[in-house]
Amino acid sequence: MRRTASPTSLLLFGAGVFLLVLAPLLAWYVAPQAKRTPVDVDTTTVFTGTGSYFDTSKVRTVHGQRITVTRQVRGDVADSEKSGNAVWDVSTSVDSDATLPAADTRDSLQWTLERWVTDRATNEPVHCCDESPVFDGEAYLKFPFDVEKRSYRWWDGTLGGVIRLRYSGTAKIQGYEGLRFTGSVPPTRTGVRQVPGRLVGRDKAPQVLAEEWYSNSAVELVVDRRTGRIVHAAIGPRKTLRAPGSDKDAVVLLESERLAFTAETQRQQVELASRDSGKLAVLGSTAPVGAAALGGLLAVIGAALVARGRRPAPDRANAHMMTSPPA
């Protein structure tokens, strides 16, 4: 009697082999493809705090005021698909209570419109697609995927240059743990601005090119490890004017010891980070490990059943001898 494999054993063996092939594909191809900066983004983050700003209507600096920084990021899907990069348009406005809500961002205390282009896999800057300004560094609106416990070069748009953020342990934001990075910016001249001389102590000069100076007492970012999304941010900016060649601040344009994400912005960022991190975890570890384990088990069971056979079938030659009439 010879034995034949049952359809069930072949099905189990085939499914096992399929899952064993699928596991490395998920880990080595699908997961890396999923680690790409999205292009269809439309998010708004809000910082608030108390500080000082130059009130143009009063022609003086006012203190103890609430300051709100609103940043809106929108992806340019068409240019992103055309270039293969992540192209984001970033609008940032600084407001007092008097300018909120602003019907026109140009009514804000300060307003900038920038265009950031990055490599979707590495987060490195890409200089194309009408990028403005030309920037450098490893991180700005987000960190690279799979954030490491090391220092990163972070682009400070107000400085117009990079600063080094040090890894400073972990922190929990609304119960969600991320990696914490900290740094600061010493007083640095960032440009010049034409102003009335009396504004900076040069009463005899109708107009002077005052020096713009900027510092940041404390930059703090908490970042999701898998996605590089910033779930919390806090800064301590100070922008001033100095008379040409002076080493003393004459006018404070903007100052706050701490401007930080609002609770609502934290919640929004944590939800997005948790969702995207969960997807990457499934594709990068849970699914491949599960597929490999289940595939190995099914393949072993199927192979064993194929080897043993499940339905005995009579040998044709012997069957002929048994059924033939005697001579």
306 neighbors 4 (Cβ within 8 angstroms): no
pTM: 0.80
- Alpha carbon 262 to its chain centroid, in Å, reads 18
pLDDT in tens, the chain (327 residues): 555 656 776 565 565 555 565 556 545 555 555 688 999 999 999 999 999 999 988 999 999 999 999 999 999 999 999 999 999 999 999 999 988 876 667 778 899 999 999 999 999 999 999 999 999 999 989 999 999 999 999 999 999 999 999 999 999 999 999 999 999 999 999 999 999 999 999 999 999 999 999 999 999 999 999 999 999 999 999 999 999 999 999 999 999 999 999 999 999 999 999 999 888 776 656 655 565 566 566 556 656 666 676 455 555 544 444 444 544
Residue reference for tokens 């991320």? 178
Q: Return all residues near 40 (Cβ < 8 A) that are at least 6 apart.
A: 75, 77
Q: How far is CA 228 from CA 75, 76, 79, 256, 290, in A?
A: 17, 20, 23, 27, 26
Pairing of strands 230-235, 207-223: antiparallel
Cβ density class 168-192: b for 16+ within 10 Å, e for less: beebebeebebbbbebebeebebee
